[in-house]
């Protein structure tokens, strides 16, 4: 699959129930993109979040509150005084309990009010009382968005600690083309995860490899394996959520590049080696999750090989062992490998740990639908260079990624680790 064919957004990239027990407030302002907030709400609820929706008066002209009420399962806040029994106190309570707030779409009017500290309706009043992360997702006509007053107000909001989720560029409902389109809901949810995570990896440069490599036989055939890239992408995404500066060197996969991660696409083992040596030179940590082909055809035919003889053999030559090469020139970098094995996991993993001079190797039991290649879950054992090991239960690959980062952080980058990273 070429880069252009890759899906831009992947809802499934974030595991189910990741927002369980999280209280999120979704503020909806009056803009044509209000309908996209319905999709955003659906995604938040699907991740297990308890979502409370606050709508401005104008927002209700675009989408009826009933839609939000039905999807969130809770009454929608519309007016400062719409609940005679509790009045504005309810908004203070929502502010106190919120783990995060998303304003989508955020109009020029709301952005201006917040920048000026004005509280003249339920949403703006509520926002002044919030201390949790606040994501502002602007959506408006391109000229409005580029207007100096709006840009000045956005700068002010950023300086005040709001997180601005840049609008996308494209054709807008008003017929113009340019920036101003509400960011995709999947992107907003992804950034929510980013802002909910503690930044314990801040300032650490991490290079991750993922996916398979393809070794060309001729222009239409290749040797490869079943790696989907899910495990490596989960590690890259988790490290980015936690504040690391992440580069992902990826073989061909069907996955969208993780947001906030510098992704370098490669095809063959030789290309992967070149990319790893170039981008890993300054890394503090290299995690090699990729399933690199050990051999490649001696020559890749320039034209499609025609069917003729009953048998044919294909001379193969050994690819460079990238991780082994890195291990022989460590230069202070922490090196973590993965070993996919169908049997004798400990024996094979420990042999690779030693031979490649690694600090840790993740032994990955493969061959069952719930672990290894292509699966959403994984069963791994962590083997350390000092001889200690830790078998983890079968978990979502995202959870494996976070636990792996916890363990690496404890051993190599901090004295103390916080296990509740997100
Ligand atoms: O992508 P998924 O579908 O999510 O599947 C994840 C996975 C099963 C591919 C992953 O979890 C995994 O186990 N990756 C390692 C695959 C493997 O068996 O690697 P290996 O035993 O061939 O190599 C050991 C280590 O050396 C790996 O870190 C590998 O990246 C590295 N290596 C191997 C060969 C080579 N020429 N260069 C390398 O750097």
What's the confidence (pLDDT) of residue 249? 98
Q: Measured from the CB, is residue 255 less than 6 Å from ligand 1? A: no
Query: Of all atoms in ligand 1, which is nearest to the CA of residue 225?
Result: 9
- CATH 3.40.50.10300 positions along the chain are 205-304+311-413
Q: What is the largest CA-CA distance in the chain?
A: 87
Atom of ligand 1 nearest to the CA of 229: 1
Which residues belong to the active site?
Answer: 174
What are 137-155's pLDDT values in tens digits? Answer: 999 999 999 999 999 999 9
415 — alpha (psi -120 to 50), left (phi > 0) or beta?
Answer: alpha
pLDDT value at position 12? 45
Q: CATH 3.40.50.1950 residue ranges in the chain?
A: 3-196
CATH number of 3-196: 3.40.50.1950
Report how far residue 296's alpha carbon sits from residue 26's, in angstroms, rounded to the nearest whole number: 52
Q: Which residue has the tokens 């008003």?
A: 174
With CA atoms as reference, report the closest residue to 68 among 20, 102, 22.
Answer: 102
* Domain 205-304+311-413: CATH architecture, name and number where available: 3-Layer(aba) Sandwich (3.40)
Q: What is the mean pLDDT of residues 63-75?
A: 96
Q: What is the sign of the dihedral through the CA atoms of 64, 100, 261 and 291?
A: negative
Burial of 120 (0-12, 13-18, 19+ CB in 10 A): exposed
Predicted local distance difference test score (pLDDT) of residue 208: 98
The pick from 292, 354, 364, 383 for probing ligand 1's pocket by mutation, whose C-beta has the most ligand atoms within 8 angstroms, reads 292
Q: Ligand 1, residues 334, 340, 344: which to mutate, most atoms within 8 A of Cβ? A: 340
Residue ID of nearest Cα to ligand 1 atom 23: 339
pLDDT value for 82: 66
pLDDT of residue 177: 85
Per-residue pLDDT at 251 exceeds 70: yes
* pLDDT for res 417: 45
């Amino acid at each position: 699959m070429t880069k252009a064919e890759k899906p831009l957004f992947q809802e499934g990239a974030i595991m189910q129930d990741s927002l369980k027990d999280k209280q999120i407030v979704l503020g909806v302002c009056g803009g044509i993109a209000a309908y996209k907030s319905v999709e955003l709400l659906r995604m938040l609820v699907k991740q297990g979040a308890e979502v409370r929706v606050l709508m401005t008066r104008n927002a209700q002209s675009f989408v009826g509150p009933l839609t939000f009420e039905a999807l969130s399962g809770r009454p929608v806040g519309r007016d400062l005084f719409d609940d005679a029994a509790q009045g504005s106190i309810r908004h203070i309570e929502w502010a106190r309990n919120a783990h995060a707030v998303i304003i989508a779409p955020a109009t020029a009017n709301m952005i201006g009010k917040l920048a000026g500290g004005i509280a003249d309706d339920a949403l703006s009043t509520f926002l002044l009382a919030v201390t949790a992360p606040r994501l502002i997702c602007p959506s408006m006509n391109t000229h409005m968005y580029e207007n100096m007053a709006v840009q000045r107000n956005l700068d002010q909001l950023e300086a005040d600690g709001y997180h601005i989720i840049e609008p996308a560029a494209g054709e807008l409902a008003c017929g113009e083309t340019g920036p101003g389109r509400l960011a995709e809901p999947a992107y907003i949810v992804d950034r929510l995860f980013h802002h909910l995570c503690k930044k314990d990896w801040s300032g650490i440069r991490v290079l991750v490899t993922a996916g398979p490599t393809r070794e060309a036989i001729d222009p239409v055939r290749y040797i490869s394996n079943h790696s989907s890239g899910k495990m490596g992408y989960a590690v890259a995404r988790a490290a980015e959520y936690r504040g690391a500066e992440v580069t992902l060197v990826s073989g061909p996969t069907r996955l969208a590049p993780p947001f906030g991660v510098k992704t370098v696409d490669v095809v063959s083992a030789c290309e992967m080696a070149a990319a790893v040596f170039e981008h890993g030179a300054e890394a503090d940590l290299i995690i090699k999750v990729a399933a690199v082909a050990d051999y490649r055809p001696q020559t890749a035919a320039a034209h499609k090989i025609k069917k003729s003889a009953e048998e044919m053999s294909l001379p193969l030559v050994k690819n460079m062992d990238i991780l082994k090469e890195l291990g022989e020139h460590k230069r202070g970098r922490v090196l973590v490998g993965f070993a996919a094995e169908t049997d004798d996991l400990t024996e094979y993993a420990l042999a690779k740990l030693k031979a490649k001079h690694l600090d840790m190797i993740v032994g990955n039991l493969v061959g069952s639908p719930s672990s290894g290649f292509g699966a959403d879950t994984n069963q791994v054992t962590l083997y350390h260079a000092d001889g200690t090991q830790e078998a983890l239960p079968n978990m979502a690959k995202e959870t494996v990624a976070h636990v792996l980062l916890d363990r690496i952080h404890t051993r190599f980058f901090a004295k103390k680790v916080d296990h509740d990273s997100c």
